[in-house]
A and B are shown apart, each in its own frame.
Chain A
Amino acid sequence: MRECLYCHQYIDKSMSFACLFNQEKAYLCSECVSKLEKVQGGCRRCGKKTTDEICSDCLYWQSLQDTNKYLVNNTSLYYYNDFAKALIQQLKFLGDCKLLLAFKPDIQAIFKKVKHNNIILVPVPLHEERLAERGFNQSYLLAKLIKLPILDIVIRNDNTKQSKKRKQARIVIDNQYQLKEEVDLTNKTIIIVDDIYTTGATIHKIARLFFNSGVKKIYSFTLFRS
């Protein structure tokens, strides 16, 4: 019997013939799974819950013309509801990185459809101090669940939490992130991986770093969309 990673209830899996063929492991109990809300519809570019085709945030990013060319869209798995908040709380602030395994089946299902050549994953970095404090970079671990090559060349300069900033402070473009070295990524496609997409500032700031490296397209993948 397996325990649910979050609530520690035993996962109730009734025996059937399907069990023999279906090797997929369940990490969350059915009750916890039902509390997760999958992203459906919404903004065409970022998945925000909205009736507009493209949400106001995305229009703002579009107005900063140069991004438009490369950054195609964002894919998120779930909405950032109360349950997701509790999960993130346990994952990031208690430091329970095993919880990420819970999303493994869904993440791999999404990336099954992706053609694998020339794709590189770029996890959003943590500041060194924060990394030492937490013990892991959740974005990096998330990227590891997707079986694609990872390029960890971005470093983070400031140590303030993104969630502690106002929206205006977030979207100001500064040198919060930096490339370790210049790399040649001609004809490559980049997927930026992060845990939560709120205003899109982080993703866009990192995307900017790659404009001069000859990438073909930049996508982003986040676990939650708030």
Chain B
Amino acid sequence: MLKEFTSLATNSIPGVIKHGNKYYCNRCGNSKQKAFYRDSLGVYCRNCLVFGKSATYSTIKREETIISSTNRCCLTKVVHLSDMQKLASQHCVNAYKNNKNSLIYAVCGAGKTEIVYEVILTALNEGKVVGFATPRKDVVLELYPRFKRDFYQVEIVALYGGSQDKGKLGNLYITTTHQLINFYQFFDLIILDEVDAFPYYNNKMLEGFVQKAKKRGAPIIFLTATPTRKLQYLMKRKKLDYFIIPLRFHRYPIPVPRVSLTTSTIQKLNKGECPKKILAWLASKKQCDKQVFVFVPDIKSGLNLEKILKPHFACEFVHAESPDRKQKISDFRSRKYQFIITTTILERGVTVSNVDVCIIGCDAEIFDERAIVQIVGRAGRDKNYPTADVVLFCDYYTREIKRAIRQIKRMNKLAKKMKLLL
């Protein structure tokens, strides 16, 4: 079907150019002068160094506009959407038609992917090129077969590190944000999933990639469960269209965390003690035989805690460097042990039914608003056990804790107001 593609222009241009007295990186869109540095031959950009050097004396290749065919595209089957999803979907289409950026702010498990089907189809039927970008490779791998199944007569290209599809033509690109590096003024619509996830969040380089990969004035649709501060600000100031889905698919409210103050938690853990409050809480969980997610701020305190708890409780510590991570998680799922101690690596994408959650040392910097909301989102995900006990152990309240609790309460209130709760 893609015979009607006319051209895929690949241009060579210098990597870094000078505008007035300011440097600009053509590859990553960086214009922060601190990130440029001079070597013997010229000036190079440190922002996107991992992709090789982009400098005043080097050239980069970039792919520019293609003219695509206008085939009728459709879905292979009817996707059933809930009322909220239908509204959200309509919102996306409107945003696309008006060329406006938009944010779909939906709590975890609200079915964000199905929401964007409609707008993708609309754009494709106009002969446009659509990019579905996400910071995480596993999302691309998960979505590619799903999109392939659901879309009819659409050439889908999946791009990620090590992908076979590089250089292929298509009209729907599912890609990691890193892979947008080679695209310049290419997409008529970009859908950006998990905007707040590592590594996209707070990464100027990747933000630049997205901005330069889309055509001038082309809209971006952001999907997230926990909008960043910047997005929240834009929402509040009405500078960004948004649509909120405040409830989970099972239509119960999100559990609101309880704060329990302890004293010098992390220092005590380093000394090999554990605050009595935490021990008592864990013991009570042991009695009623409930599984618990225990989040700690860093690997060191996690190891300490594991040492303290091992003699009394069945527990395991899972962190980024533990070799049998997958095994340990699946063991936890099958209830082989009771407490899983972990760092923020498990804040997303892990669903275990009927668990309680606690964060130890919640005042640590790593637990910001988004992290806390995501962690709380681990609890009560099962239809049969929609409630859970969520405790944040901290030495003192931080702004982030307050904001997170406020955000959860606000979403619950909103759901109540819209008479959506069961």
Q: Which residues of A contact B (CB under 8 A)?
A: 90, 94-98, 131-132, 135-137
Give the chain A neighbours of B55 by CB distance below 8 A.
Answer: 135
Q: Are B50 and A135 in contact (CB under 8 A)?
A: no
Q: Which of B42, B44, B50, B52 has the most CB of A within 10 A?
A: B44
Report the minimum CB–CB distance from B28 to chain A (whole Å).
Answer: 14
Give the chain B neighbours of A137 by CB distance below 8 A.
Answer: 40
Total number of B residues with any Cβ neighbor in A under 8 Å: 13
Which single residue of chain A is at the shortest CB-CB distance from B203?
A: A8
Q: Are A95 and B39 in contact (CB under 8 A)?
A: yes
**23 CB < 8 A contacts A-B:** A90-B49, A94-B49, A94-B50, A94-B52, A94-B53, A95-B39, A95-B44, A95-B49, A95-B53, A96-B44, A96-B46, A97-B37, A97-B39, A98-B37, A131-B40, A132-B41, A135-B41, A135-B42, A135-B53, A135-B55, A135-B57, A136-B41, A137-B40
Interface residues of A, dominant DSSP: loop
Interface string of B35-79 (1 = CB under 8 A from A): 001011110101001101101010000000000000000000000
Give the chain A neighbours of B41 by CB distance below 8 A.
Answer: 132, 135-136
Q: Are A98 and B46 in contact (CB under 8 A)?
A: yes
Give the chain A neighbours of B39 by CB distance below 8 A.
Answer: 95, 97, 135-136
**Docked CA distance A97–B39 (Å):** 7
The 10 closest A-B pairs by CB, nearest first: A98-B37, A136-B39, A135-B41, A136-B40, A135-B39, A97-B39, A95-B53, A94-B49, A96-B49, A135-B40
Report the minimum CB–CB distance from A152 to chain B (whole Å).
Answer: 12
Which single residue of chain B is at the shortest CB-CB distance from A137?
A: B40
**Docked CA distance A131–B53 (Å):** 14
**Docked CA distance A137–B39 (Å):** 9
**Docked CA distance A79–B52 (Å):** 27
**Docked CA distance A90–B49 (Å):** 9
20 A-B pairs besides A94-B49, A96-B37, A135-B44 with CB distance below 8 A are: A90-B49, A94-B50, A94-B52, A95-B39, A95-B44, A96-B44, A96-B46, A96-B49, A97-B39, A98-B46, A131-B40, A135-B39, A135-B40, A135-B41, A135-B42, A135-B53, A135-B57, A136-B39, A136-B40, A136-B41
Give the chain A neighbours of B53 by CB distance below 8 A.
Answer: 94-95, 135
**Docked CA distance A96–B51 (Å):** 12
Give the chain B neighbours of A135 by CB distance below 8 A.
Answer: 39-42, 44, 53, 55, 57
**Docked CA distance A94–B46 (Å):** 10
**Docked CA distance A135–B53 (Å):** 10
Give the chain A neighbours of B52 by CB distance below 8 A.
Answer: 94
Give the chain B neighbours of A97 by CB distance below 8 A.
Answer: 37, 39
**Docked CA distance A131–B55 (Å):** 15
**Docked CA distance A94–B42 (Å):** 15
Give the chain A neighbours of B37 by CB distance below 8 A.
Answer: 96-98
Give the chain B neighbours of A131 by CB distance below 8 A.
Answer: 40
**Docked CA distance A97–B44 (Å):** 10
Give the chain B neighbours of A132 by CB distance below 8 A.
Answer: 41
